[in-house]
Structure 1
Amino acid sequence: MAALNPYLNFDGKTEEAFNFYKSVFGGEFDTFQRIKEIPGGDQYPPNEQNRVMHVSLPIGKSGTLMGSDTMPSMGHTLNQGNNVHLAISPDSEEEAKRLFDGLSAGGKVVMPLEKTFWGALFGMFSDKYGVLWMVNYTYQK
Structure 2
Amino acid sequence: MRVMVIVKASPSSEAGELPSTELLEAMGKYNEELVKAGIMKSGDGLKPSSTGLRVRFRGNERIVTDGPFAETSELIAGYWLWEVASMDEAVEWVKRCPNPMREESDIEIRQFYEMDDFAASDPDGKVAAHEDKLRASVAMQDSTLAPYLFFAGRCDEALEFYKHALGATVAMLMRFNESPDATPEGMLQKGFENKVMHATVQIGKLTVMCSDGCNDKSTFDGFRLALSLPSEDSCTGVFNSLAEGGKIDMPLSKTFWSPLYGMVTDKFGVGWMVMVPGEQSCV
Measure, in 2, the Cα distance between the counterparts of 1:103 and 1:68.
19
Paired AA for residue 207 in structure 2: T
Q: What do the CA deviations read for 1:83-105 (whole angstroms, capped 9, x no partner)? A: 01000011221211111011111
Q: Corresponding residue for 1:47?
A: 191
More strand by percentage: 1
Structure 1 Cα separation of the partners of residues 231 and 151 of structure 2:
31
2:68 maps to what in 1? Answer: none
- SS of structure 2 residue aligned to 1:84: coil
Residue of structure 2 equivalent to 1:89: 228
Q: TM-score, normalised by structure 1?
A: 0.83
Could you state the TM-score of these two structures normalised by the residue count of structure 2? 0.44
Q: Quick one: structure 1 residues 109 and 94, their matched pair in 2 at CA, closer, same or farther if it must change by over 3 Å?
A: same
1:59 deviates by: 1.3
Percent identity of equivalent pairs: 38
- How far apart are 1:117 and its partner, in Å? 2.2
What is the RMSD computed on CA atoms of the aligned residues?
2.3
SS at match of 2:240: helix
Cα separation, 2, equivalents of 1:131 and 1:102:
13
Specify the SS of the correspondent of 1:70: coil
Q: How far 1:37 sits from its partner (Å)?
A: 0.7
Count of residue pairs brought into register by the alignment:
136
Code of the residue aligned with 2:213 in structure 1: it is: T
Maintained 8 Å contact 1:41/1:49: no
More helix by share: 2
Structure with the larger RCO, 1 or 2 (CA within 8 Å, 6+ apart): 1
Unaligned runs of 5+ in 2: 1-140
Residue 69, structure 1, aligned to residue 212, structure 2: yes
The Cα of 1:119 is off from its aligned counterpart by: 3.6
CA contact (8 A) 2:174 2:198 kept: yes
**1:3/1:63 contact within 8 Å kept:** no
Counterpart CA distance in 1 for 2:179 and 2:220 is 29
